Amino acid sequence: MASLTTQQLEQLRARISQRAESSIPVWPVAVRPCAERNALALLMGTLLGKLPNDDVAPLVRPILSEQEKNGSWRNDISLTLEIVQALSQSNRPEARPAMNKAVTWLEEHPHRRHLRAETLLLLGHTTGLGAPIRFRYLLKPALNIAIDWSFRGKNTSRKLAAHLLMNDQGRDNGRMSALIRRQQTDGSWDGNVRTTALAMAALRHAGVPASDSLFERGFRFMRVLQQWDGKDLLQAPADVSNVLHATTVRSLILAGAENSEVAPSAMLLLHHQDVSGGWSTGSGQPVDVMTTAMALDALALFGDEPLETRWVRRRAAEFLISVQHSDGSFSALPKKSWFAYRGAKNRASLDVTSAALLALCECGEFSALPAMIKAVNFITREQLPDGSFPASTMKSRLYTTVLAAEALDAFGGMRKHVEKSLEWISTQQHELGGFMGDVGLTSWHTAMAVRGLSLRPAKFAVELASARTHLLMRQDEETKWWNDASSNLYVPSLHRRLSVTEMTAMAALEALHTGSRVRAMRTRKLRTTPTPRG
C-alpha cells in the first residue's frame, strides 16, 4: 500500500508545524487568482505613497499572467478597468502591451452600462487617481448613474465610503468620522482587502492627510496579507489564520503528531475564541459557524490539557446549539447576523450542518444530544437515492458527501446511510486513482475521498491504495508539496471559495497516514466522561 515513509511523514509534519508556528498571529497565504487584489494593492500604494519600488514588478507579474486572450480579466468590464488603471500607474514597461490590449477590449465592450458604480467611484476623478485619456470618456457619463445607485445589500463601511467618494471634499464630515470609527484594531475595515482599499480611498478624498496613522495601519493590514509565491507577490483577500490553525491541529494529530507539536496552533485557537463562543476565519471578520465547527473539532482532538480547553469547547458547543435552525440545519453565518444588511439569504448549508454535527459528536458535551439528533434528521433527509448528497457551500458533491458520511458515522446508528454514501464515493474514482474536482483531478478532492473511504478501510482497501498512490504521484518532487489548485476554503464574509495550497497539503498528509482513522476510538476514549459543570 502506498504511503509515506516514517522519515517522510516526520519531515512533512515538521514542515507544517514550523509553518504554523511562524504564522502566529497571522498566516498569510498565496491565493490565486489575485489580479483584482494585486491591482488594489498597487492603487492604494500609489495613492498613499507607501508602495516599495521592489514590490511593483512582483505585484504586476501575476496580474499579467491572468489576462484573458481577448485582453480582459475574467471578461469583467469593471475588473478590467480597475486593473488597467493600476497598471497605468505602475510604470512597468512589460505591462504596456497588456494594458493596450485591455483598453482596446474596453473601448469595444458593448455593455458599458454594466460598469459597477463602486468601480466608477474608486477610479473616477473624485478619487484623485485620474484615468488614462484613451478610456476616460467611459467614466464621465457613467458617474452620473452612480449618484442614483442603491447601496442596499452593502455593508456599512462600503456604503459610507461610496457616499464620501460621491461628495466633494469637506462636504460630508459626519460620514467621514463614522468611517474612521469603523477601522478595526488590525487596521482593516470589515477584515477584508477590498473594503479596506475603498475606505482608504474615500478618506483620502475626504481630506484626511496621507500621513495620518489610519492609512499606515490600513496599508499595513494589506501588506501583512501579501505572500510570496516564487518571484510573484500575491495579495490575499482576507485573513484565514483561524481556519488554517484548526486544520493544522486536526491533520497533524491524525497523522501521529504529539500535542506539543500543535500546541502553538491550539493556544492560538483558545485565545481567538469570540465572546459569543464562536470563531471567525480570521482577524476583523464576523464569527461563522463553519470555522467554529472546525475549531471545536480540532480542540476535541487536542484533549483536555490545559484545563481551559474544556471550557472553550463548552462555550463553542453552546454557540453551535444556539444558532441551529428549527429544522436542524446550520447556515454559514449565524442567524440574525451579516445576512440582514448584506442582502443575502440565510440559507441552510449541508456542509456546515455536517461539520457542526461532527464537532458536537466529538466534543464530549452530552447536552448537545438534542441538537445532534435534529442535525442528523436534516442530513439524512437530504441524501439522494444514489447515496450522495447535493453539493452545498463548497460546490462539490464529493466533499459534501464525505463530510456528511463522516458526521453520520461519528453520531452512530446510521450505518445504512454511511455505507450508501461510501459506495457512491468509490464509484467516483478515476482510473488513475484520483478523484475529480472543479478543475479535473485534484489532490484535495482525492485526499477528501480517502478521508471518507477510510471510515471502512478493509472494505475499500483497493480504492484507498490506488488513491494514495495517486496522491504521492501529485506531490512535487522538489518542494514535497501539493501545488495544484482547487477551491478548498470558504470565507463566509466574502461569499467566496479560495484555493489554498496549505489546506491541500494538510489534507494529503492526513490521507497518506494509514493510521489516521483511529480518530473515533481515540476521541471517544478521551470523552468517556462529560466536561464537569461549574
Per-residue pLDDT of 471-524, as tens digits, reads 999 999 888 899 998 999 999 988 899 999 999 999 999 999 866 555 544 444
CA triple 419-420-421, angle to 5 deg: 90
More confident residue, 1 or 60: 60
pTM, full prediction: 0.91
pLDDT at 169: 74
pLDDT at 162: 84
Q: Would the pLDDT of 263 be above 80?
A: yes
**H or E element, residue 423:** helix 415-427
More confident residue, 533 or 442: 442
pLDDT at 163: 82
Provide the pLDDT confidence category of residue 377 given band limits of 50, 70 and 90.
very high
Q: How many residues does the chain have?
A: 534
pLDDT at 172: 80
Query: Phi and psi at residue 192, in whole multiples of 5°?
Result: -135, 155
* 390 CB-contact burial (10 Å; exposed 0-12 / middle 13-18 / buried 19+): exposed
Q: What is the mean pLDDT of the chain?
A: 88
Q: Would the pLDDT of 140 be above 90?
A: no
pLDDT at 469: 95
pLDDT at 345: 56
Assigned CATH topology for domain 7-22+239-414+489-525: Glycosyltransferase (1.50.10)
Provide the pLDDT confidence category of residue 116 given band limits of 50, 70 and 90.
confident
Alpha-carbon gap, residue 332 to 342, rounded angstroms: 14
Each domain of the chain, given as residue ranges in start order, spans: 7-22+239-414+489-525, 35-235
Q: Across residues 313-322, what is the average pLDDT?
A: 97
pLDDT at 337: 55
pLDDT in tens, 406-432: 999 999 999 999 999 999 999 999 999
Q: Would the pLDDT of 331 be above 60?
A: yes
pLDDT in tens, 32-62: 999 999 999 999 999 999 999 999 999 999 9
Q: Would the pLDDT of 142 be above 60?
A: no
Least confidently predicted of 148-152, 200-204, 432-436: 148-152
404: helix, coil or strand? Answer: helix
Alpha-carbon gap, residue 474 to 440, rounded angstroms: 13
276: helix, coil or strand? Answer: coil
| Other Cβ atoms closer than 10 A to 162 | 21
CB contact at 8 A, 348 and 327: yes
pLDDT in tens, 84-103: 999 999 999 999 999 999 99
Least confidently predicted of 113-117, 316-320, 433-437: 113-117
| Other Cβ atoms closer than 10 A to 111 | 7
CATH code assigned to 35-235? 1.50.10.20
pLDDT at 154: 55
Alpha-carbon gap, residue 292 to 278, rounded angstroms: 5
Residue 183 in grid coordinates: 477601522
Q: What percent of the chain has pLDDT over 70?
A: 87
Residue 35 in grid coordinates: 489580479
pLDDT at 367: 92
pLDDT in tens, 251-262: 999 988 899 999
